[in-house]
Amino acid sequence: MGFGWAIFMPALIIVAGLLIKLAMANVAGKSLHPSDISSLMVKALPWSFFVGAIGFAAGSLLSNIALVTKVYLPREVFPVAATVAQAFDTSISAVVLAIALPFLGVTLSWSLLWVPVLVILLFLFTTGVGLFLSCANLFFRDVKYIVQVLLTFGIFFTPVLFDASMVGPTASGLLMLNPLSPFLEGLRLCVVERHNLLEPLMVAGSHGHVLVWTPWYLAYGLVCSLGGLLASALMFHRLEFVFAEYI
């Protein structure tokens, strides 16, 4: 399938999300809005990147046992390479996405300048998680099962198929604690809603006003990605010497 593979996974998530959105719209007695579709697409892509990268990175050290035990090279290469490879795949589908979005009513705006910032932060965060999990999986073989379960059900605890604000004020705040939420919600807001991420955003819902965005979310995402990467890189570096012994 070649490049088709790169688009397959996000496309599947988008179709699944559309079905759910359609069901929700029917129940509420509303019709599906183009911005629903575009926001779904904007969030499905980074999510599929995260899932794919983590899936490969977590097992990357174990699947290269021969190299880890027989050749000395910086072992960071394995999880980081998995993340970079996934980023490459994602960039292909991002091109497709960029072509599709204008047809769904997305227009150019200054807020789009936030996209590279969020993408870089998401990449760094994913790299950090990948480093941590590959290392953990080397010492504890049952980590991979936990990762599998988390990645399968993580989509329900991450605002991918729905927006965080849809679950009401309290649950929304909790949902935003998921380190991925600020990136996904941020991307949706700056691309689809043309919102400047330095400004807070409130919407009126059926249960009162819901805080959709505050700059603190951005700060939280920044801390998670940089702090996470730094901490896991340090841990990885400290444990690297015993990899060959424990693997």
Partner 1 sequence: MWKKFHRGEVHDSLRDLVPAMARHLLGRAPKPTQLQAGDFWALREINFQVKGGEALGIIGPNGAGKSTMLKLLTKILRPTRGSCSVRGRVGALIEVAAGFHPDLTGMENIYLQGSIMGMRSSEIAKKIDEIVEFAGVGAFIDTPVKRYSSGMHARLGFSVAAHLDPDVLLIDEVLSVGDMAFQEKCIERMKLFKRKGVAIAFVSHNMQAVAELCDTGVFLSGEVLALGPVQEAIGTYVRSASRQVAAPRGAAIDIVKADLLDERMEPAVTVSPGAELTLRVTYCVQKTIMNYQLVFVLYRSTDGLKVYDGNLRSEEIGLDGLAPGETFTVDFRFSVHLVRGQYHVGSYIYHNPTLSQISYLVPAGLFTVQETRTYGGGVADVNLTCGDIVRTPPRSG
Footprint of partner 1 on this chain (CB under 8 A)?
66-73, 139-143, 146, 241-242, 244-246
Select 136 or 187, whichever has its Cβ closest to partner 1: 136
CA triplet 101, 201, 209: central angle to 5 degrees?
115
Residue 136 DSSP SS3:
helix
Select 11 or 240, whichever has its Cβ closest to partner 1: 240
Q: How far is the CB of 244 from partner 1 (least distance, A)?
A: 5
Measured distance CA(143)–CA(137) in Å, rounded: 5
Measured distance CA(69)–CA(25) in Å, rounded: 55
Q: How far is the CB of 172 from partner 1 (least distance, A)?
A: 32
Quick one: tokens of 62?
A: 């174990």
Select 69 or 91, whichever has its Cβ closest to partner 1: 69
Q: How far is the CB of 21 from partner 1 (least distance, A)?
A: 38
Q: How far is the CB of 77 from partner 1 (least distance, A)?
A: 9
Whether the Cβ atoms of residue 233 and residue 131 lie closer than 8 Å to each other: yes
Select 80 or 184, whichever has its Cβ closest to partner 1: 80
Measured distance CA(146)–CA(230) in Å, rounded: 23
Select 77 or 223, whichever has its Cβ closest to partner 1: 77
Whether the Cβ atoms of residue 60 and residue 78 lie closer than 8 Å to each other: yes
Q: How far is the CB of 25 from partner 1 (least distance, A)?
A: 43
Q: How far is the CB of 221 from partner 1 (least distance, A)?
A: 28
Per-residue DSSP letter, 113: G
Select 1 or 71, whichever has its Cβ closest to partner 1: 71
Per-residue DSSP letter, 32: -
Strand-pairing partners, residue 208, are: 205
Strand-pairing partners, residue 210, are: 203
Q: Which residue has the tokens 């509303």?
A: 30
Select 66 or 99, whichever has its Cβ closest to partner 1: 66
CA triplet 128, 57, 178: central angle to 5 degrees?
45
Q: How far is the CB of 110 from partner 1 (least distance, A)?
A: 42
